[in-house]
Structure 1
Amino acid sequence: MRIVKIEEYQKGERVTISPGEYYVTAKPGVISTLLGSCIAVCLYDRGRRLIGMNHFMLSNPRYSRDLPLNTTDAGRYGIHAMDLLINAMMKKGTCRHELRAKVFGGATIINPDSPHDNFFCVGQVNCRFILQYLEKEAIPVDAMDLGGDFGRVIHFSNGDFAVHRRKVDSLRSDKLAKRDRYCWQTAIEQQQAALTEIDLW
Protein backbone atom coordinates (compact mmCIF):
# COMPACT_ATOMS: atom_id res chain seq x y z
CA MET A 1 0.00 0.00 0.00
CA ARG A 2 1.25 3.52 -0.76
CA ILE A 3 1.16 6.03 2.08
CA VAL A 4 0.90 9.65 1.08
CA LYS A 5 2.19 11.17 4.26
CA ILE A 6 3.36 10.12 7.70
CA GLU A 7 4.06 12.79 10.31
CA GLU A 8 5.92 11.79 13.46
CA TYR A 9 4.76 13.51 16.65
CA GLN A 10 6.19 12.66 20.05
CA LYS A 11 6.11 8.84 19.97
CA GLY A 12 3.06 8.60 17.74
CA GLU A 13 2.28 9.17 14.08
CA ARG A 14 -0.33 10.79 11.93
CA VAL A 15 -0.95 8.99 8.64
CA THR A 16 -2.86 10.66 5.81
CA ILE A 17 -4.47 8.40 3.21
CA SER A 18 -5.88 9.26 -0.22
CA PRO A 19 -8.47 7.59 -2.48
CA GLY A 20 -7.66 3.95 -3.13
CA GLU A 21 -5.46 3.63 -0.04
CA TYR A 22 -5.80 2.01 3.38
CA TYR A 23 -3.72 1.80 6.53
CA VAL A 24 -3.70 -0.44 9.61
CA THR A 25 -1.77 0.11 12.83
CA ALA A 26 -1.57 -0.94 16.46
CA LYS A 27 0.72 1.99 17.30
CA PRO A 28 -0.41 5.21 19.00
CA GLY A 29 -1.52 7.59 16.33
CA VAL A 30 -4.17 9.05 14.09
CA ILE A 31 -5.28 8.18 10.55
CA SER A 32 -6.69 11.09 8.55
CA THR A 33 -8.35 11.66 5.18
CA LEU A 34 -10.42 14.14 3.18
CA LEU A 35 -13.77 12.97 1.79
CA GLY A 36 -16.30 14.15 -0.76
CA SER A 37 -18.49 11.49 -2.38
CA CYS A 38 -15.91 8.89 -1.32
CA ILE A 39 -16.34 6.70 1.75
CA ALA A 40 -13.90 6.07 4.59
CA VAL A 41 -14.50 3.06 6.81
CA CYS A 42 -12.81 3.10 10.21
CA LEU A 43 -12.48 -0.40 11.64
CA TYR A 44 -11.16 -1.20 15.09
CA ASP A 45 -10.56 -4.00 17.55
CA ARG A 46 -10.67 -2.64 21.11
CA GLY A 47 -8.98 -5.64 22.71
CA ARG A 48 -5.93 -5.51 20.45
CA ARG A 49 -5.91 -1.71 20.21
CA LEU A 50 -5.86 -2.07 16.44
CA ILE A 51 -7.28 0.44 13.98
CA GLY A 52 -7.57 0.64 10.21
CA MET A 53 -9.07 2.99 7.66
CA ASN A 54 -9.70 2.81 3.93
CA HIS A 55 -10.82 5.44 1.42
CA PHE A 56 -12.73 4.22 -1.62
CA MET A 57 -14.17 6.22 -4.50
CA LEU A 58 -16.81 3.92 -5.98
CA SER A 59 -18.87 1.01 -4.74
CA ASN A 60 -17.96 -1.13 -7.76
CA PRO A 61 -16.45 -0.85 -11.26
CA ARG A 62 -19.82 -0.11 -12.86
CA TYR A 63 -19.48 3.52 -11.75
CA SER A 64 -15.96 3.88 -13.09
CA ARG A 65 -17.08 4.04 -16.73
CA ASP A 66 -13.98 3.21 -18.78
CA LEU A 67 -11.38 2.99 -16.00
CA PRO A 68 -9.61 -0.41 -15.97
CA LEU A 69 -9.65 -2.59 -12.86
CA ASN A 70 -6.24 -3.91 -11.91
CA THR A 71 -4.25 -4.56 -8.78
CA THR A 72 -2.99 -1.00 -8.52
CA ASP A 73 -6.43 0.59 -8.29
CA ALA A 74 -8.39 -2.18 -6.59
CA GLY A 75 -8.64 -0.02 -3.46
CA ARG A 76 -10.71 2.51 -5.40
CA TYR A 77 -13.72 0.19 -5.31
CA GLY A 78 -15.62 -0.48 -2.11
CA ILE A 79 -15.94 -4.23 -2.50
CA HIS A 80 -12.17 -4.62 -2.92
CA ALA A 81 -11.23 -1.86 -0.47
CA MET A 82 -13.14 -3.60 2.31
CA ASP A 83 -11.46 -6.94 1.60
CA LEU A 84 -8.03 -5.28 1.60
CA LEU A 85 -8.69 -3.53 4.92
CA ILE A 86 -10.21 -6.53 6.70
CA ASN A 87 -7.46 -8.87 5.49
CA ALA A 88 -4.76 -6.43 6.62
CA MET A 89 -6.33 -6.24 10.07
CA MET A 90 -6.60 -10.03 10.29
CA LYS A 91 -2.88 -10.28 9.46
CA LYS A 92 -2.31 -8.13 12.56
CA GLY A 93 -4.16 -10.69 14.69
CA THR A 94 -7.82 -9.69 14.77
CA CYS A 95 -10.85 -11.81 13.89
CA ARG A 96 -13.85 -10.63 11.88
CA HIS A 97 -16.20 -11.01 14.84
CA GLU A 98 -14.01 -8.61 16.88
CA LEU A 99 -14.30 -5.76 14.38
CA ARG A 100 -16.47 -2.67 14.82
CA ALA A 101 -16.96 0.16 12.36
CA LYS A 102 -17.49 3.88 11.98
CA VAL A 103 -18.28 5.19 8.48
CA PHE A 104 -18.09 8.61 6.88
CA GLY A 105 -18.51 10.37 3.53
CA GLY A 106 -20.82 9.76 0.59
CA ALA A 107 -21.66 13.43 -0.03
CA THR A 108 -23.35 14.70 -3.17
CA ILE A 109 -21.01 17.54 -4.07
CA ILE A 110 -21.71 17.95 -7.81
CA ASN A 111 -25.28 18.66 -8.98
CA PRO A 112 -27.03 17.71 -5.72
CA ASP A 113 -30.42 18.38 -7.35
CA SER A 114 -29.82 16.11 -10.34
CA PRO A 115 -31.84 12.88 -10.87
CA HIS A 116 -30.79 9.89 -8.75
CA ASP A 117 -30.24 7.60 -11.75
CA ASN A 118 -27.27 9.43 -13.25
CA PHE A 119 -23.52 9.24 -12.63
CA PHE A 120 -23.62 12.04 -10.06
CA CYS A 121 -25.48 9.88 -7.53
CA VAL A 122 -22.24 8.06 -6.70
CA GLY A 123 -22.27 9.36 -3.10
CA GLN A 124 -25.71 7.88 -2.47
CA VAL A 125 -24.71 4.58 -4.05
CA ASN A 126 -21.57 4.48 -1.90
CA CYS A 127 -23.63 5.06 1.26
CA ARG A 128 -26.07 2.31 0.40
CA PHE A 129 -23.26 -0.08 -0.50
CA ILE A 130 -21.25 0.30 2.69
CA LEU A 131 -24.23 -0.08 5.03
CA GLN A 132 -25.37 -3.21 3.19
CA TYR A 133 -21.83 -4.62 3.16
CA LEU A 134 -21.29 -4.13 6.90
CA GLU A 135 -24.70 -5.60 7.70
CA LYS A 136 -23.99 -8.67 5.56
CA GLU A 137 -20.59 -9.13 7.21
CA ALA A 138 -22.13 -8.67 10.68
CA ILE A 139 -19.75 -5.83 11.55
CA PRO A 140 -21.52 -3.46 13.98
CA VAL A 141 -21.62 0.22 13.03
CA ASP A 142 -21.01 2.34 16.13
CA ALA A 143 -21.14 5.73 14.39
CA MET A 144 -21.78 7.18 10.96
CA ASP A 145 -21.95 10.50 9.18
CA LEU A 146 -23.06 9.85 5.61
CA GLY A 147 -24.55 11.85 2.75
CA GLY A 148 -25.20 15.56 2.73
CA ASP A 149 -23.76 18.13 0.34
CA PHE A 150 -20.46 18.91 2.07
CA GLY A 151 -16.99 17.41 2.26
CA ARG A 152 -15.44 16.09 5.45
CA VAL A 153 -12.02 15.87 7.03
CA ILE A 154 -11.80 13.01 9.52
CA HIS A 155 -9.18 11.97 12.08
CA PHE A 156 -9.41 8.44 13.54
CA SER A 157 -7.60 8.03 16.88
CA ASN A 158 -6.13 4.83 18.25
CA GLY A 159 -6.44 6.18 21.80
CA ASP A 160 -10.17 6.10 22.40
CA PHE A 161 -11.19 5.00 18.87
CA ALA A 162 -12.88 8.37 18.41
CA VAL A 163 -13.34 9.95 15.00
CA HIS A 164 -13.13 13.72 14.87
CA ARG A 165 -15.01 15.15 11.88
CA ARG A 166 -15.30 18.63 10.46
CA LYS A 167 -17.09 19.97 7.43
CA VAL A 168 -14.88 21.32 4.67
CA ASP A 169 -14.96 25.11 4.34
CA SER A 170 -12.39 26.38 1.86
CA LEU A 171 -12.97 29.99 2.93
CA ARG A 172 -11.36 29.31 6.31
CA SER A 173 -8.79 26.75 5.22
CA ASP A 174 -5.82 28.26 7.11
CA LYS A 175 -7.68 28.45 10.40
CA LEU A 176 -9.11 24.95 9.97
CA ALA A 177 -5.72 23.49 9.07
CA LYS A 178 -4.44 24.73 12.45
CA ARG A 179 -7.48 23.22 14.16
CA ASP A 180 -6.86 19.89 12.39
CA ARG A 181 -3.25 19.87 13.57
CA TYR A 182 -4.33 20.62 17.14
CA CYS A 183 -6.93 17.84 16.92
CA TRP A 184 -4.60 15.03 15.87
CA GLN A 185 -1.70 16.17 18.03
CA THR A 186 -3.96 16.26 21.10
CA ALA A 187 -5.19 12.74 20.30
CA ILE A 188 -1.62 11.42 20.18
CA GLU A 189 -0.72 13.24 23.41
CA GLN A 190 -3.69 11.60 25.16
CA GLN A 191 -2.64 8.18 23.89
CA GLN A 192 0.91 8.68 25.16
CA ALA A 193 -0.38 9.81 28.56
CA ALA A 194 -2.58 6.71 28.81
CA LEU A 195 0.33 4.42 27.97
CA THR A 196 2.50 5.85 30.72
CA GLU A 197 -0.19 5.05 33.29
CA ILE A 198 -0.19 1.34 32.46
CA ASP A 199 2.18 -1.07 34.24
CA LEU A 200 3.31 -3.86 31.93
CA TRP A 201 4.25 -7.19 33.44
Structure 2
Amino acid sequence: MKIEKYQNGERVTISPGELYVTGGPCVISTLLGSCIAACLYDPVRRIIGMNHFMLSNPRYSKELPLNITDAGRYGIHAMDLLINAMMAQGTDRRHVRAKIFGGATIINPESSKDNFFCVGQVNCRFILQYMEKERIPVEAMDIGGDFGRVIHFSNGDFAVHRRKVDSRRSDKLAQRDRYCWQKAIEQQQEALTEIELW
Protein backbone atom coordinates (compact mmCIF):
# COMPACT_ATOMS: atom_id res chain seq x y z
CA MET A 1 0.00 0.00 0.00
CA LYS A 2 1.32 3.42 -0.93
CA ILE A 3 0.06 6.57 0.81
CA GLU A 4 0.74 10.03 -0.61
CA LYS A 5 -0.17 13.12 1.41
CA TYR A 6 -1.66 16.05 -0.49
CA GLN A 7 -2.87 19.19 1.27
CA ASN A 8 -4.95 17.82 4.19
CA GLY A 9 -5.94 14.66 2.34
CA GLU A 10 -4.29 11.57 1.01
CA ARG A 11 -4.16 9.33 -1.99
CA VAL A 12 -3.88 5.63 -1.16
CA THR A 13 -2.84 3.14 -3.83
CA ILE A 14 -3.74 -0.45 -3.05
CA SER A 15 -2.31 -3.60 -4.60
CA PRO A 16 -3.86 -7.06 -5.05
CA GLY A 17 -4.95 -8.54 -1.73
CA GLU A 18 -5.15 -5.16 0.02
CA LEU A 19 -8.02 -2.95 1.17
CA TYR A 20 -8.37 0.52 2.62
CA VAL A 21 -11.19 2.25 4.53
CA THR A 22 -11.43 5.90 5.55
CA GLY A 23 -13.83 8.61 6.59
CA GLY A 24 -11.43 11.45 5.76
CA PRO A 25 -10.54 13.36 2.59
CA CYS A 26 -9.08 10.66 0.40
CA VAL A 27 -8.81 9.14 -3.04
CA ILE A 28 -8.20 5.37 -3.20
CA SER A 29 -6.59 4.13 -6.42
CA THR A 30 -5.66 0.81 -7.99
CA LEU A 31 -4.74 -0.85 -11.28
CA LEU A 32 -6.94 -3.75 -12.40
CA GLY A 33 -6.71 -6.51 -14.96
CA SER A 34 -8.68 -9.68 -14.21
CA CYS A 35 -8.92 -8.69 -10.53
CA ILE A 36 -11.97 -6.96 -9.06
CA ALA A 37 -12.10 -3.78 -6.99
CA ALA A 38 -15.24 -3.28 -4.95
CA CYS A 39 -15.69 0.40 -4.07
CA LEU A 40 -18.11 0.55 -1.15
CA TYR A 41 -19.44 3.70 0.46
CA ASP A 42 -21.80 4.80 3.19
CA PRO A 43 -23.33 8.12 2.08
CA VAL A 44 -24.73 8.77 5.58
CA ARG A 45 -21.49 8.40 7.58
CA ARG A 46 -19.33 9.40 4.57
CA ILE A 47 -17.06 6.37 4.86
CA ILE A 48 -15.50 4.73 1.81
CA GLY A 49 -13.57 1.54 1.31
CA MET A 50 -12.01 -0.35 -1.56
CA ASN A 51 -10.56 -3.82 -1.88
CA HIS A 52 -8.60 -5.42 -4.71
CA PHE A 53 -9.08 -9.16 -4.85
CA MET A 54 -7.77 -11.81 -7.18
CA LEU A 55 -8.38 -15.51 -7.24
CA SER A 56 -5.70 -17.77 -5.79
CA ASN A 57 -6.49 -21.08 -7.50
CA PRO A 58 -4.56 -21.72 -10.76
CA ARG A 59 -7.58 -23.40 -12.38
CA TYR A 60 -11.21 -22.27 -12.34
CA SER A 61 -14.37 -23.71 -13.71
CA LYS A 62 -17.03 -21.46 -15.16
CA GLU A 63 -19.75 -23.95 -14.25
CA LEU A 64 -18.99 -25.03 -10.65
CA PRO A 65 -20.99 -23.35 -7.87
CA LEU A 66 -18.88 -20.58 -6.37
CA ASN A 67 -19.31 -21.84 -2.81
CA ILE A 68 -17.45 -25.04 -3.77
CA THR A 69 -14.45 -23.46 -5.48
CA ASP A 70 -11.50 -21.63 -3.94
CA ALA A 71 -12.48 -18.73 -6.18
CA GLY A 72 -15.71 -18.10 -4.28
CA ARG A 73 -14.14 -18.51 -0.87
CA TYR A 74 -11.35 -16.03 -1.56
CA GLY A 75 -13.76 -13.43 -2.93
CA ILE A 76 -16.10 -13.83 0.03
CA HIS A 77 -13.15 -13.40 2.41
CA ALA A 78 -12.05 -10.17 0.70
CA MET A 79 -15.58 -8.74 0.74
CA ASP A 80 -16.18 -9.65 4.39
CA LEU A 81 -12.91 -7.98 5.42
CA LEU A 82 -13.91 -4.77 3.62
CA ILE A 83 -17.43 -4.62 5.03
CA ASN A 84 -16.20 -5.42 8.56
CA ALA A 85 -13.51 -2.71 8.34
CA MET A 86 -16.17 -0.17 7.32
CA MET A 87 -18.49 -1.26 10.14
CA ALA A 88 -15.60 -0.89 12.60
CA GLN A 89 -15.47 2.79 11.59
CA GLY A 90 -19.19 3.27 12.18
CA THR A 91 -20.90 2.22 8.95
CA ASP A 92 -24.41 0.83 9.18
CA ARG A 93 -24.49 -2.08 6.71
CA ARG A 94 -27.97 -1.03 5.53
CA HIS A 95 -26.48 2.17 4.05
CA VAL A 96 -23.66 0.52 2.06
CA ARG A 97 -23.66 1.10 -1.70
CA ALA A 98 -21.24 -0.31 -4.28
CA LYS A 99 -19.42 0.49 -7.48
CA ILE A 100 -17.50 -2.42 -9.00
CA PHE A 101 -14.70 -2.58 -11.55
CA GLY A 102 -12.31 -5.02 -13.21
CA GLY A 103 -12.69 -8.64 -14.25
CA ALA A 104 -11.06 -8.24 -17.65
CA THR A 105 -9.96 -11.10 -19.86
CA ILE A 106 -6.62 -9.71 -21.00
CA ILE A 107 -4.86 -12.86 -22.20
CA ASN A 108 -6.51 -15.05 -24.83
CA PRO A 109 -10.00 -13.48 -24.67
CA GLU A 110 -11.31 -15.85 -27.37
CA SER A 111 -10.75 -18.91 -25.17
CA SER A 112 -14.00 -20.45 -23.94
CA LYS A 113 -12.39 -23.37 -22.10
CA ASP A 114 -12.12 -23.69 -18.33
CA ASN A 115 -8.55 -22.62 -17.73
CA PHE A 116 -6.56 -19.87 -16.09
CA PHE A 117 -7.68 -17.40 -18.78
CA CYS A 118 -11.30 -17.40 -17.54
CA VAL A 119 -10.36 -15.86 -14.16
CA GLY A 120 -11.85 -12.46 -15.13
CA GLN A 121 -15.16 -14.04 -16.07
CA VAL A 122 -15.29 -16.00 -12.80
CA ASN A 123 -14.51 -12.82 -10.86
CA CYS A 124 -17.33 -10.92 -12.61
CA ARG A 125 -19.81 -13.68 -11.91
CA PHE A 126 -18.75 -13.89 -8.28
CA ILE A 127 -19.03 -10.15 -7.50
CA LEU A 128 -22.47 -9.83 -9.10
CA GLN A 129 -23.78 -12.86 -7.19
CA TYR A 130 -22.24 -11.61 -3.95
CA MET A 131 -23.85 -8.15 -4.24
CA GLU A 132 -27.23 -9.69 -5.04
CA LYS A 133 -27.04 -12.21 -2.18
CA GLU A 134 -25.91 -9.57 0.35
CA ARG A 135 -28.46 -7.04 -0.98
CA ILE A 136 -25.87 -4.33 -1.57
CA PRO A 137 -27.09 -1.99 -4.31
CA VAL A 138 -24.64 -1.62 -7.20
CA GLU A 139 -24.79 2.03 -8.26
CA ALA A 140 -22.23 1.71 -11.09
CA MET A 141 -20.02 -0.91 -12.65
CA ASP A 142 -17.51 -1.45 -15.40
CA ILE A 143 -16.58 -5.13 -15.45
CA GLY A 144 -15.43 -7.63 -18.06
CA GLY A 145 -14.01 -6.65 -21.42
CA ASP A 146 -10.48 -7.15 -22.68
CA PHE A 147 -8.67 -4.13 -21.20
CA GLY A 148 -7.15 -3.16 -17.87
CA ARG A 149 -8.37 -0.23 -15.81
CA VAL A 150 -6.94 2.38 -13.47
CA ILE A 151 -9.54 3.64 -11.00
CA HIS A 152 -9.62 6.50 -8.49
CA PHE A 153 -12.38 6.44 -5.82
CA SER A 154 -13.13 9.77 -4.12
CA ASN A 155 -14.64 10.28 -0.68
CA GLY A 156 -15.94 13.71 -1.73
CA ASP A 157 -18.78 12.76 -4.05
CA PHE A 158 -18.18 8.99 -4.10
CA ALA A 159 -17.20 9.28 -7.78
CA VAL A 160 -14.99 6.68 -9.40
CA HIS A 161 -12.84 7.95 -12.24
CA ARG A 162 -11.87 5.12 -14.57
CA ARG A 163 -9.54 4.98 -17.53
CA LYS A 164 -8.60 2.13 -19.81
CA VAL A 165 -4.98 1.05 -19.65
CA ASP A 166 -2.99 1.91 -22.78
CA SER A 167 0.73 1.35 -22.29
CA ARG A 168 1.61 3.47 -25.35
CA ARG A 169 0.48 6.66 -23.58
CA SER A 170 1.67 5.96 -20.04
CA ASP A 171 3.53 9.26 -19.39
CA LYS A 172 0.61 11.52 -20.33
CA LEU A 173 -1.86 9.29 -18.55
CA ALA A 174 0.20 9.30 -15.36
CA GLN A 175 0.04 13.12 -15.38
CA ARG A 176 -3.70 13.01 -16.00
CA ASP A 177 -4.15 10.51 -13.14
CA ARG A 178 -2.22 12.80 -10.77
CA TYR A 179 -4.40 15.77 -11.77
CA CYS A 180 -7.55 13.64 -11.28
CA TRP A 181 -6.84 12.53 -7.71
CA GLN A 182 -5.38 15.88 -6.63
CA LYS A 183 -8.46 17.71 -7.93
CA ALA A 184 -10.73 15.28 -6.05
CA ILE A 185 -8.90 15.95 -2.77
CA GLU A 186 -9.01 19.73 -3.37
CA GLN A 187 -12.78 19.53 -3.87
CA GLN A 188 -13.17 17.56 -0.64
CA GLN A 189 -11.14 20.21 1.21
CA GLU A 190 -13.30 23.02 -0.22
CA ALA A 191 -16.47 21.21 0.89
CA LEU A 192 -15.08 20.81 4.42
CA THR A 193 -14.28 24.54 4.75
CA GLU A 194 -17.84 25.45 3.72
CA ILE A 195 -19.36 23.47 6.61
CA GLU A 196 -20.14 25.48 9.71
CA LEU A 197 -19.72 23.52 12.92
CA TRP A 198 -21.96 24.32 15.89
Aligned to 1:114: 111
Look up the equivalent residue of 1:193 and give its one-letter code: E
Look up the equivalent residue of 1:162 and give its one-letter code: A
Q: Does structure 2 retain, via aligned residues, the 8 Å contact 1:19–1:55? A: yes
| Deviation sequence 1:125-157 (CA, Å, 0-9, x none) | 000000000110000000000000000000000
Runs (4+) off by over 3 Å: none
Q: Does structure 2 retain, via aligned residues, the 8 Å contact 1:37–1:108? A: yes
Q: Does structure 2 retain, via aligned residues, the 8 Å contact 1:20–1:77? A: no
| Deviation sequence 1:81-108 (CA, Å, 0-9, x none) | 0010000000001121110000000000
Question: Structure 1 pair 22/187, CA: closer, same or farther in 2 (3 Å)?
Answer: same
Which secondary structure state, in structure 2, belongs to the residue aligned with residue 101 of structure 1?
A: strand
Q: TM-score, normalised by structure 1?
A: 0.90
Deviation at 1:115, TM superposition (A): 1.7
Look up the equivalent residue of 2:80 and give its one-letter code: D
- CA distance in 1 between counterparts of 2:191 and 2:49 reads 20
Look up the equivalent residue of 1:187 and give its one-letter code: A
Which secondary structure state, in structure 2, belongs to the residue aligned with residue 77 of structure 1?
A: helix
1:183 to 2:169 alignment: no
Q: TM-score, normalised by structure 2?
A: 0.91
Spell out the pairing of 1:20-35 with structure 2 (5 A cutoff): 20-35=17-32
Aligned to 1:136: 133
- CA distance in 1 between counterparts of 2:181 and 2:146 reads 25
Identity %: 82
1:47 to 2:44 alignment: yes
Q: Can you give the 5+ residue segments of structure 1 that lack an aligned partner in the other structure?
A: 66-75
2:92 to 86, 92, 95: 95
Tell me the matched-pair count: 185
Aligned CA RMSD, in angstroms, stands at 1.2
Which secondary structure state, in structure 2, belongs to the residue aligned with residue 56 of structure 1?
A: coil
Aligned to 1:152: 149
